[in-house]
Amino acid sequence: MLQPEFQIPPLFAYFALFLWALSGAIVGMHKRYDLAGVFVIALLASTGGSTLRDGLFLQQKPPVLTDAWYIILTMLATIAVGFFRDRIARMTLVDRVINVIDALGVPAFAVIGMQLSLAAEVPLPGVVLIGMINGFGGGILRDLMVGDTPVALKPGTFYVSAAFLVCVLFVVLVAVLDVNNTVAAWSVIGLFVLVRLLSLRYDWRTQPILPPQ
Amino acid sequence: MLQPEFQIPPLFAYFALFLWALSGAIVGMHKRYDLAGVFVIALLASTGGSTLRDGLFLQQKPPVLTDAWYIILTMLATIAVGFFRDRIARMTLVDRVINVIDALGVPAFAVIGMQLSLAAEVPLPGVVLIGMINGFGGGILRDLMVGDTPVALKPGTFYVSAAFLVCVLFVVLVAVLDVNNTVAAWSVIGLFVLVRLLSLRYDWRTQPILPPQ
Amino acid sequence: MLQPEFQIPPLFAYFALFLWALSGAIVGMHKRYDLAGVFVIALLASTGGSTLRDGLFLQQKPPVLTDAWYIILTMLATIAVGFFRDRIARMTLVDRVINVIDALGVPAFAVIGMQLSLAAEVPLPGVVLIGMINGFGGGILRDLMVGDTPVALKPGTFYVSAAFLVCVLFVVLVAVLDVNNTVAAWSVIGLFVLVRLLSLRYDWRTQPILPPQ
């Protein structure tokens, strides 16, 4: 039923990690942190999700401990942000840049987490949960550490709901409909990016359960 | 010495979980989150304590990953809060409702955590620690995530101290005095609920170590 | 290559733990917490780093669960702070006291974490990471829990960078240059304390990547 051999290619996983690290470094730079502080925030963003996934849930050593590329790529992203600091500082819509990075980073990390959970024979509701934690964990830790409300939880943006739907879709495709793992992965990543960019472009918003006062 | 076969009945554990999920959903709704955001806060409240307990301390997969009821009951609580949103919104004393829910939820989860730790042969001071983490973890994560000071740590309320005393009492009853596990469990749950409700009713307060300025 | 038999003496580890507990208790007292709340913050400060290290990364039961001294020493620190509350309250430079305690506590815990990681055959970049987490984890959790910006991440202080450099130095000394583990440990602890106290005394500051507006 499962084809764990067809997975997100490692190069794409590293690319998503680099994007997350960039987002963390940009956030840290705007908080006026020094090089070390910016690196800490970048590392939280790039490795927080996988560390929560493995450390709290799957009970295995997180990849940041065993795969040196996690730290190296995060350092490179920190240096890159430092190098282009003036150009980044002049950008009027930094929030939007972070949003676009997250739009790709969330589904990429979510799919990686779900593929690992399926291989670890986690029950299907747990697979969706791991997908969400792997997808959002780094961004939430990044925002909490610098003292911001997590972007993912800001009331009204079409974000967590969209990710939840594509995570459920991925599990249904792979574990119920027996769709090829790679095809399902790219489909839900593409779908999430599309929905997320459209929702940012046209300001689609979900309704709070309780209407604003 | 230990009778792990006499435990909190599963139905009561699920009931406590549902109460915690309700408290999280109410807090999330008042923050004007959408359905997905409210569910995230409800899930933190209902499963945060057991996930910290198992993921950080007991080194086993947390139940939210393996027991589908954890997610289902939290969804039901979220839907219930959405359904009765107008009635909940009109309540003038929402903080008090959360306090009453927590008054039952804290000792229920604390006893479950201590029973699991005793079965895992954790040393007795560690058993009390796990009880406190299982009892308060979800509520603290719920409050931190929405940006509030954790209710449990608000200076002066008779809450953490009371829980600490009943956790020590439970360990003494079960592991030293060899009292029946079920009797000890219900006794300390009842005692904590009583003390907590009385302290809310009569505004009993502990003294800060340093007098207010 | 490694000589895990030459380690930080247990007495020194307990002394560092006691210092961390003092720092947490002082912070909690100034937030006007009661005895139980002060103890919770002291416990986060004294055991948070080792719990993150073992629970999230090394996948073993954290020492607070198995070594009763962790809880006992934290209780003693809480009682000591309560006993000398008036003297501590009169201190005009409490932040500075915390800084001095942290100056010794960070490298002590960092070295303990790195020695454990080397013994667990973690790859060298991971060893540095564990050193940083063990060194800063408790202080960061202490500050986040009371709602402060973590001291370690405050922009511009020469702190995380200095710790990173001494952690790299320790790994190079022990794992590359084959220096005696105990000699390397005391050298980097002494070097960090010296650099940190000098940087506090003369207000050495690192530059934010992005100049202040």
pLDDT (tens digit per residue) in B116-142: 999 888 999 999 999 999 999 999 999
CA distance B76 to chain C (A): 30
CA distance A76 to chain B (A): 30
Query: According to the model, what pLDDT value does residue B3 have?
Result: 45
Distance separating alpha carbons of residues C5 and A73, to the nearest angstrom: 34
Cβ distance C163 to C192 under 8 Å? yes
Write out the E strands in C31-154: none
- How long a stretch of residues is chain C? 213
B153 and C37 in contact by Cβ < 8 A?
Answer: yes
Q: What's the half-sphere exposure (Cβ side, CA atoms, 13 Å) at B64?
A: 29
C210 and A29 in contact by Cβ < 8 A?
Answer: yes
pLDDT (mean) for C144-165: 81
The complex's ipTM? 0.86
Whole-angstrom CA distances from B39 to A110, B28, B128, B134, C98 are 18, 8, 30, 20, 39
Minimal-distance CA residue of chain C relative to A41: C153
pLDDT (mean) for B188-194: 92
Cβ distance A46 to A138 under 8 Å? yes
Neighbouring subunits of C (3+ Cβ pairs under 8 A): A, B
B156 and C34 in contact by Cβ < 8 A?
Answer: yes
Give the 3-state DSSP-derived string for B136-189, with helices as H, strands as E and coil as C: HHHHHHHHHHCCCCCHHHCCCECCHHHHHHHHHHHHHHHHHCCCCHHHHHHHHH
A32 and C156 in contact by Cβ < 8 A?
Answer: yes
C68 and B125 in contact by Cβ < 8 A?
Answer: yes
Q: Write out the residues of chain B at the interface with chain C, using a CB-CB cutoff of 8 A.
A: 55-59, 122-123, 125-126, 129-130, 140, 144, 149-150, 153, 155-156, 159-161, 164, 206-210, 212
In chain B, the percentage of residues whose pLDDT exceeds 90 is 48
pLDDT (mean) for B105-109: 92
Of B47 and B156, more confident: B47
Neighbouring subunits of B (3+ Cβ pairs under 8 A): A, C
Average pLDDT score, chain B? 86
Confidence at B92, pLDDT banded by 50, 70, 90? low
pLDDT > 70? residue B58:
yes
pLDDT > 50? residue A93:
yes
Query: According to the model, what pLDDT value does residue A160 have?
Result: 87
Residue B130 CB neighbour total at 10 angstroms: 29
> Best mutation site among A31, A32, A38 for testing chain C: the one with the most C CBs within 10 Å?
A32
Cβ distance C18 to C76 under 8 Å? yes
pLDDT > 50? residue B1:
no
Query: According to the model, what pLDDT value does residue A7 have?
Result: 64
Q: Which two tokens stand for residue B46?
A: 């209902």
Q: What's the half-sphere exposure (Cβ side, CA atoms, 13 Å) at B134?
A: 28
Tell me: the pLDDT tens digits for C87-143?
777 766 667 777 888 888 899 999 999 999 998 889 999 999 999 999 999 999 998
Distance separating alpha carbons of residues A139 and A119, to the nearest angstrom: 25
Confidence at A212, pLDDT banded by 50, 70, 90? low
- Contact residues, chain C, for A71 at CB < 8 Å: 125, 129
* H or E, element range at B170: helix B160-171
A68 and C125 in contact by Cβ < 8 A?
Answer: yes
Average pLDDT score, chain A? 86
Tell me: the pLDDT tens digits for C167-191?
999 999 998 888 888 889 999 999 9
Query: According to the model, what pLDDT value does residue A50 have?
Result: 95
In chain A, the percentage of residues whose pLDDT exceeds 90 is 48
Confidence at B88, pLDDT banded by 50, 70, 90? confident
Distance of CA A165 to the CA centre of its chain: 15
Phi/psi region, residue A107 (left: phi>0; alpha: psi -120 to 50; beta: rest), is alpha
C209 and A145 in contact by Cβ < 8 A?
Answer: no
Write out the E strands in chain A: none
B125 and C59 in contact by Cβ < 8 A?
Answer: no
pLDDT (mean) for C20-48: 91
Place of tokens 């109460």: B19
Query: According to the model, what pLDDT value does residue B41 have?
Result: 94
Q: What are phi and psi of B73, to 5 degrees?
A: -65, -35
B149 and C147 in contact by Cβ < 8 A?
Answer: yes
Across the interface, of C59, C144, C155, the residue whose CB is closest to A32 is C155
- Contact residues, chain B, for A129 at CB < 8 Å: 64-65, 71
Distant-in-sequence, close-in-space partners of A113: CB < 8 Å, separation ≥ 6:
A49, A50, A53, A130, A131, A133, A134, A135
Residue C208: strand pairing partners = A34
pLDDT > 70? residue B93:
no
Q: Which two tokens stand for residue A56?
A: 């709290």
Query: According to the model, what pLDDT value does residue B147 have?
Result: 81
pLDDT > 80? residue B182:
yes
> Best mutation site among C22, C29, C33, C41 for testing chain B: the one with the most B CBs within 10 Å?
C33
- Contact residues, chain C, for A55 at CB < 8 Å: 55-57, 59
B155 and C32 in contact by Cβ < 8 A?
Answer: yes
Confidence at C212, pLDDT banded by 50, 70, 90? low
What is the DSSP code (8-state) at residue C1?
Answer: -
Distant-in-sequence, close-in-space partners of B147: CB < 8 Å, separation ≥ 6:
A149
Distance separating alpha carbons of residues C3 and C193, to the nearest angstrom: 24
pLDDT (mean) for A4-26: 82
Size of interface A-B (CB pairs under 8 A): 82
